[in-house]
Amino acid sequence: MERLAQDPDAPQGDPGLLYPLLRRMERESLVASVWDTEGKGPARRQYEVTPEGTDYLHAWAVSIRQTRARLDRFLNQYAAHFGAEGRDAVELS
């Protein structure tokens, strides 16, 4: 959580939503956790992505790329039809 809070590009969400998600991911063998009792203060869970989680992440990335390709095709067709002169001009990367 501390590293997420320091990353300006990371979504800033409610920790009360993150931990149930991590527990569900652990039940699905996507992550594994161990208790860290070495530091000061109360023990903390440390999570690590499992090989199954890595496979899931790779599949998700493929799905996102496919969705992005469909959106790019749509935006290119949109720009070709309406041109860059319209009030809703689209800047394509």
In order along its 93 residues, the chain shows pLDDT tens digits of 667 677 777 777 777 888 899 999 999 999 999 999 988 899 999 999 999 999 999 999 999 999 999 999 998 888 888 876 655 555 555
Shared domain for 73 and 42, answered yes or no, is: no
Q: Could you tell me the sign of the dihedral formed by the alpha carbons of 42, 48, 50, 53, in that order? A: positive
Shared domain for 45 and 68, answered yes or no, is: no
| 72 Cβ contact list (under 8 Å, min separation 6) | 92
What is the Cβ-side half-sphere exposure of residue 32, based on CA atoms within 13 angstroms?
Answer: 5
Number of domains in the chain: 2
Asked whether the beta carbons of 82 and 88 are under 8 A apart, the reply is yes
Shared domain for 45 and 1, answered yes or no, is: yes
Full domain range(s) for residue 85 = 50-93
Query: What pLDDT was estimated at residue 93?
Result: 52
Q: Give the H or E element holding residue 26.
A: helix 15-27
Shared domain for 2 and 30, answered yes or no, is: yes
Shared domain for 24 and 40, answered yes or no, is: yes
